[in-house]
Chain A
């Protein structure tokens, strides 16, 4: 009871502190909660997107007609089915009067897909609002019209029958983000496909069973079901769940969600800095109360309980406020965000989110409260080792929390660890420097003299403010630089990526192809020779050539004299030059991509024996390199030294740049002039990729601004609170007759010096951090943003000076008796 009474008194007596504390904590957890909540919404939206990529809850896929027995077997393994659909797709030469091209024919059934659907050029949609095409009608992609030289309403030939193009498809949710989806699609009704008479014995087709279940299962649950079924069904049946498509999206978006998590962590850290600062200041102010209470017989246990409960009440008020705000705002934020960007977000609330957050906040108040309260209650100077030990649970809590809020393994953990190490170093080095240069003399400039004295004498306050500003600036410079590097690479506009992939070119054709491509206004780029080989031995150990291993042992080799800018040597050295042994008595130097090396257990210095079309060659790994996957150019796991296998039979891969040329004309010209070439148009593949990335990158950018805004507010609160603590000091200076102007200047100099030095180091730390995060964690180029650095370098010191100026003016002109009253 005594504890409750004491807590209520503490709350009543320090209203302004309580308000500032609650506001500070609200901002800290709002950022973390909102960003986590937002991340959850992205996940849910991706789940929905993944379902529309598949069109159903679960799909069974086979290259052979699925027998009734197999269908029954599948049915017995499934939960209650709501709807069921049997789909077929095949490839065929589709012809106009001008030319014929290979296209994918897809049978579309009534009511399918269950998720997503088609949008046509005339804005009508399917399955909602549109009946199936008639027996002699087809729906086609725009590429079909381009490649065959047709228009809406024209006739095309499939098999030996003619079909009328009744609709042109603008968007197709079933369009895969993969190279297998490059063939233009022609949709037919079941009767239409039957009419073509293409499916008979010996035909190749994909047969699909699409299921929609009564119960609404999560994608993870469906993936579990997929895994269970795959073990029970025969190998000709492949089970697909939405996560198969989601994984591709996730691979694309994981960098962005990781970045988003880091941003939310940063906001939270900034909030915590403010929180620790404020609460330790509060306790220090009430140290005398604690001593008195202890002297009149209040037990230490009760005192600890009192301040812990006080902290818990403050945190709880802030939490309730933030959660109430999230609940209220979620209703209108969803539609607002959706209006802003073209991505459907699910902002529905999950009570588990609140439960988890409440547990986290309870653990936080305990882990942070105890090390701050205990030393004051125990009234004795504690050993450094005990101080460190008391903060250990808080540090562990922070590391665990950071680990769990970031999707990628260890990124959050290492980020939090480095921030903590930096803070520890700052305090360590800072204390040493301030102790060493303790300023006790006088300078001609009284204001400067006073400022320096304040800085060196109030070491803890100076260092806390210095660390807070340094972290703010570091994060301010880090977020936009990482964000900019990341979005530069990911959302690199479609124009900068290749438009076509050229496969199967002959070496002697290259110059003619290049001339033809240039004639049409583009460039043939990234030409790469490809040689087929089998891995026979790794470090003398025979590699199995049986079954699945036979597939794994087959590799494509390429050769080059140097690495591309998108590649980086992680271990080892560059190639020594052109291979010069005539009889292969010397091993060929080889570069291996890091993930392939890891998968096959290949390390630097290892020897690998290849069978290059009947010739056994020995290669030695001279480097392990990383390849930036976002480049979208031909890349090889294994690259050999130039000159060793140049004579081996090969095919050439290349890309054609995007530009202001007629792409249909390019495609037709190349396939007409070089009929054996395979030219793949990758526009739609990159477009769907780029759209999703652009959308999420846009949100991420906005979220970084939120984080920066929190940082600024936090700095403002800390400076303001610090100024309040300086009231007595100002009074003392006034009483000994120092001019108001000198007092004001001394504060401006004190805070200005701290802010300027913290900003300078913060900018450097932030830039170094952004370099490491960009290049190591996100595999992207570092985008140095001098404009942002200058902005933030000046912003915080200027803001500090403005705030200090405002508060000093306010306090300095108050009468002495008012200040006494305080």
Chain B
């Protein structure tokens, strides 16, 4: 009997601990985060939330702060809006549209740094996801783009996921007809990679 009571206490304690430590993660991104062409439930932020429950038995609250076409330029105002919900973690997955539009990367870096400063001030843990620009943009621009993320990572000593579309980009079966946006299968793979990256923080 004592044994059963002890086990029940442990389980109750676990549940209580799990519920009390519900973390809120803000995924601040663009169409890749918003899930353009798939439903919001199929987009990787929601899948990460499900994985946390399934794999870690943890309730986390994922806020999908992705907006199609968003560049680093307009994301700060969105961050300010979402900070009202006091996220514990801000997962920044921005910059793809800056690169695809061939924007000046010095400015993009400045914008990203502003976003990070603001999130840190709000006492949120900042995680950064990087992107790789398609090779057709040319080696010079591609290198500058890669360098931008590395410099930010160094400067803020951030936990960094080098490529958000790892194992998804360029694979026809994982992308929609536009060749840029992942389909539901692609988002599943992305969510696994992001979850692997986030796991420790949860």
Task: Give the interface of A toward B (CB within 8 A).
Answer: 62-64, 90-93, 95, 100-102, 105, 158-160, 198-205, 235-236, 238, 504, 506-507, 532, 534, 545-547, 550-551, 554, 613-614, 647-651, 671, 675-678
Contact = CB atoms under 8 A, between A and B. Distances in A.
Given A101-B102, A613-B81, A92 B40 contact: no
A506 B141 contact: no
Interface stretch (B150-158, B172-180, B192-200): B172-180
A799 to B, nearest CB: 62
Given A64-B179, A101-B102, A613-B65, A551 B135 contact: no
Contacts of B80: 649
Contact of A64 (B36, B39, B101, B172): B172
B101 A198 contact: no
A79 to B, nearest CB: 25
Nearest to B141: A93
Given A63-B178, A95-B140, A236-B179, 7 more contacts: A93-B140, A102-B137, A160-B138, A551-B36, A614-B64, A614-B85, A676-B98
A63 B177 contact: yes
A678 B100 CA distance: 12
A452 to B, nearest CB: 75
Nearest to A101: B102
Interface in B56-74: 63-65, 67-68, 71-74
B14 to A, nearest CB: 30
Interface string B82-99: 100100000000000010
B153 to A, nearest CB: 21
Contacts of B148: none
Nearest to B67: A532
Contacts of A93: 102, 137-138, 140-141
B57 to A, nearest CB: 25
B108 interface: yes
Closest 5 CB pairs of A and B: A102-B102, A63-B179, A675-B104, A675-B107, A676-B73
A586 to B, nearest CB: 21
A532 B68 contact: yes
B63 A614 contact: yes
Residue of A160, A236, A675 with most partner-chain B CB within 10 A: A675
Nearest to A203: B136
A676 B108 contact: yes
Given A236-B177, A506-B77, A614-B82, A203 B103 contact: no
29 contacts: A91-B137, A92-B137, A93-B102, A93-B138, A95-B140, A100-B140, A101-B102, A198-B135, A198-B136, A199-B136, A202-B134, A203-B134, A204-B179, A236-B172, A504-B74, A506-B73, A532-B68, A546-B39, A547-B39, A550-B36, A550-B37, A613-B65, A613-B67, A614-B65, A649-B67, A649-B78, A650-B74, A651-B74, A678-B101
B106 interface: yes
A565 B17 CA distance: 60
A507 B73 CA distance: 11
Contacts of A158: 138
B136 A90 contact: yes
B128 to A, nearest CB: 19
Contacts of B40: 534, 545, 550
Nearest to A67: B172
Given A613-B78, A671-B104, A676-B103, A238 B136 contact: no
A133 to B, nearest CB: 19
B35 interface: yes
Contacts of B82: 613-614
A724 to B, nearest CB: 74
Given A238-B177, A649-B77, A675 B138 contact: no
Residue of A105, A160, A613 with most partner-chain B CB within 10 A: A613
A649 B71 contact: no
A676 B137 contact: no
A504 B71 contact: yes
Contacts of B103: 675-676, 678
Contact of A202 (B67, B71, B78, B132): B132
B18 to A, nearest CB: 24
B180 A204 contact: yes
A670 to B, nearest CB: 12
Contacts of B178: 63
A91 B177 contact: no
B41 interface: yes
Contacts of A506: 73-74, 77
B28 to A, nearest CB: 10
Nearest to A672: B104
A235 B177 CA distance: 6
Given A236-B177, A675-B104, A676-B103, A545 B41 contact: yes
Contacts of A62: 177
B52 interface: no
B202 interface: no
Interface in B34-60: 34-41
B136 A204 contact: yes
A526 to B, nearest CB: 19
A613 B72 CA distance: 17
Residue of A95, A649, A671, A678 with most partner-chain B CB within 10 A: A649
A198 B138 contact: yes
B136 A92 contact: yes
Contacts of B189: none
